[in-house]
Structure 1
Amino acid sequence: MELRLLRSRTLVLGREGIPLALAHRLVKQGRYHDANLHAGYGTDSVLEEIQRREHALGTLSEEQIALRIAADFCCIWRYDYPQRVHDLCARIGGRPAPGLRLHYQICPDRRAELISYATALKGWLQEKPVEEYEEGTQSVARRVYQYLGSREPLKDMLVERTFIGLSLRALNCSFWGIDNFRPQTPLSPFHAAEIDANAVHRMTQLERLIMKDMGAQARDFLCDVGGTAEPACHFKFIRRIDILVSSIGCLRWRGNLPPKDTAVSGRRGLTKTYLDILEQYWNGQTYRFDADGARIRDELFESLGKPDDTKQWLVACLWKNISDQTTYHTYPMRQWVDFVHIGEQYLDQLESAGRST
């Protein structure tokens, strides 16, 4: 799916990414800016309150509209959650914030990490010593080598197939809005490694050989690298690569399962904390927090600054969107395919004009 929606580009974005105004119609499709806040059936008292608050603001300024669109850029299934909540609160509070990314989009640091994985897989096949990798790649290479252990023919085929599979995944570093921290964001490379035109054919050959060798056990090892139908922005993408690579190392699916880290475990409880904090800001509901929760609350409240009608409306929208994702597993941007198309069309225009932002 991702390679049908996205394509490789040589553009270099400056501080200005895809204009938020282009997504306006995906946020406002009626009287209110609530297109992404409808979920479930029947009346919704929170949605009615959000609508009332928007109505009380009168005609919205361009800045208010841009912030309202930005409030829907928080996906609880992304690798950069819950940091994105902090970024959005900073933006709402008028503070510097990074560019906004949503469906399929990742930051350059995430791309670099995935490039390191591909580089390490290829290096393992070439028996390249860990010490010969660049400093930024050594930690990933050391982990990959530890998972894989010594070479043997079946492992070699599985690793080569995994390398090709990872290198076929899209690494889209475009962003929306203004990035106050990165002066430039190259959109290339778009893949974790350069592979030749015969790579897909080679991957098919390898899969046939692996199935012949492993039989029914091959099915798990021949999954989409990073997860089926889940792009590089998904919070379990790298976790699934680790599971695959560690399984190859012992030739038994999940036979050497790596421990979970904080990016994977405990997200549901963490989301409840963030929802309680945001609700306290926008409607005054009082909650008691442990030490970590109190620290997060203080950080978010400081970023947001003193509450006013606009800020509380925006935070209410952010709260509702996150809450609906948690309860109904909705997308933060309901018409997400249109969202991706809009961004890609804008980048097409930049390329046609021969300029960057």
Structure 2
Amino acid sequence: MIGEGLGLALLHRFDPETAHGIALRALRLGAAPCPGLVTSDRLRTQVAGLNLANPIGLAAGFDKNATALQGLSRAGFGFIEVGATTPRAQPGNPKPRLFRLSEDQGVINRFGFNNDGMEAMASRLATRPRDAVIGLNLGANKDSTDRAADFATVLARCGVYLDFATVNVSSPNTERLRDLQGKDALAALLAGVMTARNGLGKKIPVFLKIAPDLDDDGLKDVAEVAMASGIAGIIATNTTSARDGLRSSHAQEVGGLSGQPLFEKSTRVLARLSKLTAQDFPLIGVGGVGSAAQAYAKIRAGASAVQLYSALVYGGLSLVQELAEGLDRLLAEDGFAHVSEAVGIDRDNWT
């Protein structure tokens, strides 16, 4: 879209966080691409009991406070994840805390779970669009004395409005948060979250979002704990602390790296998890998805669905429809009648 291209060029003249705020306002005003439902018999799928029009989802972080759900629900996504949300509102880290790595088609952020808190989130989710699949990324307050309990607290407050929830222990921007990915700590945390889920009155699926920087033993532990915990699946992966091969002047900024530089690393983690988990244990692939071919590669590596966020910085919201329609074509070209038939067929090539 020429208009969207000009709009992106204009947005890139602002600092990244200001530009992001403008994009959210455009969505609220209906001034963004809104193709509506993008689906087909080939794309329509079920993941962890969620009925998705297509397997292209919006990753957490784009709409942290659920302020643009009406616009996002018409943007073509098969599912939308908002947040992360913590029990109490918190400002996050000092600005600047978001950086475009244009030469690398990447993004570095060190937001630190800035959000309006669970009470504000609950009030917005109460009026959410009912024709969209919407989930919430659960977080912990930076100064919490019991971070594991924070995840359950947010779910207990907001869960009644959700279709799914995600436990986020993988952000690199809250000190020692990733320590909760350790086997014993993770088992205890997930037990608390599942107790909160079971008290909701409806058993929404709960996912676990992990870092791409886990070693093989760490991945094995995560897979074992996740499958034993009763959660629905794993989202692989969050941002990375690695900085390999970057060209941008912002390459050494502190924070989590996402976008194109993360694609191969996150896909290898996804494929390894696909080997470590049961065949009916869903994985959602995220990290560097910026084209239909990359979405398809994630699916062939083991993902039942994918998410994106950073690619929207460079491709705009029209990218969502482009990915869904392109994925449909690629599946058809390879003779697949349904997206589920392609899940994991290339996992050995990534491990």
**Do Structure 1 and Structure 2 share a fold, with TM-score over 0.5?**
no
Task: Using structure 2 for the length normalisation, give the TM-score.
Answer: 0.24
Q: Which has the larger radius of gyration?
A: 1
Higher helix share: 1
- The answer to which structure, 1 or 2, has the higher relative contact order (CA under 8 A, 6+ apart) is 1
